[in-house]
């Protein structure tokens, strides 16, 4: 099995491939197998800072944790961070390398393919198993010529491919069959089989459909994973943010009051996972908000990070949300801005980097100014609090009180019940989160709210990875997947696309 590799692809974004890779990493690591995750190219504004001081997609950070590893740029050598509908920041081996559009990307393809190939080969030489995650869907044949993460990677490295599909969306059998059928024969030959994700109901009712799928495609289904509402932390894809309103599964309050939190769902939201730590607390109801009415009845407002701070600030104003946030703060109720959200709360923003808008007025809830720089701050913090920074904006002037310190300098700021910081992951610090929630509840007029003293966000993340590993162990033919690692692509038959009479 030494140097074996497998690609987990998906019928769509958010089909579950990230969690399947994470679960397999945890499962194999438990068996003493040295395993590493790999995503050749990711498109996401949810990222983490690595041990080398670069950034990678958050899902690869989660998968590294599952494998017992620190996050490394090796696990996600190419990252695209969308700043608009047509352009993305290109991050190569952890560091920004410019802004690209779809047409520009072809020029970079060969250079990036070499980076991807070298990193994968290096990992395969070091680890027993490398579990690769695809991007989007391999059926996006219009993008096949520039593909680095799906069949382009599988073909270049001769990887067997397992396709995961989300049956909760409906039409899965057609999605699985069609994903294979639209591919050219050489790509089809690498598709070994399928995994069904998020199944609800009686498996016996699904079995005939899977038998027919195998007869039509020549490929088995390796397992059917049941729907599990415990798997919601570290949702990397913005699709999952858009699709849901409530974050997580709220637990009953420990005291008499609930604390209702409105998290603004920005169009170019980044590191949306920051609010998940709040949703872990019993009695805290976190909802995504995109209009003023959803802010009006909230106790606390959180403005998360953004890949385009000035553009999303303009959206806040156009939607009437800027006035709603200001009114909320004016009433003495808490507002928290994180990274780009913190920048929006300041008086003045000079952006010559992300949107190149120049100087614009912020919301003015902080007497502070922000200026963007071309180089990005990438930093991990470990003590006394853990967190990480990923931002172009610098705080150039601030007349506000410090909220918390690190290395003897203020890293967060407060004016009354308005709080701001560039740190991501700050609320993962359990004692810090409990103190802040207690103060926020008092300011919001919720004296009956009580924090729990037994909630550990870190433990919740590990428990989720354990759940995923156990689901895979119970419902997927792991032996068959391990055989793919040993034997390589099984050479399945080509699916004919001729019309049947």
Active site residues: 339, 424
Report how far apart, in Å, the C-alpha atoms of 228 and of each of 16, 231, 388, 471 are: 12, 6, 30, 9
Q: Measured between alpha carbons, how far is 26 from 260 in angstroms, rounded to an integer?
A: 34
Query: CB atoms < 10 A from the CB of 229, how many?
Result: 7
Task: Evaluate the omega torsion of the peptide bond into residue 384 and state whether it is cis, within 30 degrees of 0.
Answer: yes
Q: How do 348-351 and 368-381 pair as beta strands?
A: parallel
Q: How do 191-199 and 161-166 pair as beta strands?
A: parallel
Percent of the chain that is helix, strand, coil (3-state, to 5):
35, 30, 35
Nearest partner of 272 among 280, 281, 263, judged by Cα: 263
Q: Count, in order, helices (H) and strands (E) of the chain.
A: 16, 25
Helix or strand (DSSP H, E) at 30: helix 17-30
Q: Measured between alpha carbons, how far is 257 from 269 in angstroms, rounded to an integer?
A: 30
Q: Measured between alpha carbons, how far is 263 from 302 in angstroms, rounded to an integer?
A: 5
How many Å separate Cα 251 from the centre of its chain? 23
Report how far apart, in Å, the C-alpha atoms of 223 and of each of 27, 62, 110, 378, 488 are: 15, 23, 36, 40, 19
Nearest partner of 342 among 266, 406, 424, 422, judged by Cα: 422
Query: CB atoms < 10 A from the CB of 233, how many?
Result: 19
Q: Where are the beta strands (DSSP E) in 269-386?
A: 269-270, 284-289, 300-303, 305-306, 335-338, 348-351, 358-361, 368-381
Q: Measured between alpha carbons, how far is 463 from 86 in angstroms, rounded to an integer?
A: 38
Q: Which residue has the tokens 């409906």?
A: 170
Number of residues that this document lists for the chain:
501
């Amino acid at each position: 099995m030494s140097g074996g590799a497998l690609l987990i692809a998906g019928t769509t974004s958010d089909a579950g491939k990230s969690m399947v890779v994470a679960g397999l990493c945890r499962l194999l690591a438990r068996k003493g197998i040295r395993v590493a995750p790999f995503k050749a190219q990711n498109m996401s504004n949810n990222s983490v800072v690595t041990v080398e001081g670069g950034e990678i997609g958050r899902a690869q950070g989660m998968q590294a944790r599952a494998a017992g590893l620190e996050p490394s740029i090796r696990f996600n050598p190419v990252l695209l961070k969308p700043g608009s509908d047509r352009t993305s920041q290109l991050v190569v081996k952890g560091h920004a390398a410019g802004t690209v559009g779809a047409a520009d990307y072809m020029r970079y393809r060969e250079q990036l393919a070499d980076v991807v190939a070298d990193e994968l080969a290096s990992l395969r030489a070091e680890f027993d198993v490398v579990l690769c995650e695809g991007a989007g869907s391999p059926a996006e044949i219009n993008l096949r010529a520039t593909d680095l993460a799906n069949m382009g990677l599988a073909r270049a490295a001769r990887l067997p491919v397992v396709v995961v599909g989300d049956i909760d969306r409906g039409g899965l059998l057609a999605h699985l069959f069609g994903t294979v059928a639209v591919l050219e024969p050489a790509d089809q030959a690498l598709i070994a089989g399928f995994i069904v994700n998020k199944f609800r109901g009686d498996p016996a009712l699904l079995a005939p459909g899977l038998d027919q799928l195998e007869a039509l495609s020549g490929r088995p289904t390796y397992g059917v994973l049941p729907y599990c509402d415990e798997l919601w932390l570290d949702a990397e894809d913005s699709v999952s943010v858009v699709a849901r309103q409530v974050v997580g599964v709220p637990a009953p309050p420990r005291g008499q009051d609930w604390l209702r939190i409105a998290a603004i769902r920005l169009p170019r939201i980044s590191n949306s996972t920051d609010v998940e730590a709040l949703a872990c607390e019993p009695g805290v109801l976190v909802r995504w908000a995109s209009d003023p009415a959803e802010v009006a009845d909230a106790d606390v407002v959180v403005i998360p990070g953004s890949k385009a701070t000035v553009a999303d600030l303009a959206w806040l104003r156009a939607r009437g949300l800027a006035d709603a946030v200001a009114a909320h703060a004016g009433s003495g109720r808490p507002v928290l801005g994180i990274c780009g959200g913190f920048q929006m709360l300041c008086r003045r923003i000079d952006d010559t980097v992300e949107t190149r808008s120049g100087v614009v007025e912020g919301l003015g809830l902080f007497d502070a100014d922000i200026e963007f720089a071309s180089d990005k701050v990438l930093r991990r913090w470990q003590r006394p609090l853990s967190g990480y920074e990923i931002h172009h904006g610098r705080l150039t002037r601030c007349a506000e009180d410090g909220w918390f310190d690190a290395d003897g300098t203020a890293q967060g700021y407060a004016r009354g019940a308005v709080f701001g910081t560039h740190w991501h992951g700050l609320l993962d610090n359990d004692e810090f989160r409990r103190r802040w929630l207690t103060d926020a509840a008092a300011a919001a007029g919720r004296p009956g709210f009580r924090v729990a003293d037994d909630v550990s966000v870190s433990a919740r993340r590990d428990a989720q990875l354990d759940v995923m590993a156990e689901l895979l162990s119970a419902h997927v033919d792991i032996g068959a997947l391990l055989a793919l690692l040993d034997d390589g692509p099984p050479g399945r038959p080509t699916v004919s696309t001729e019309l049947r009479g």
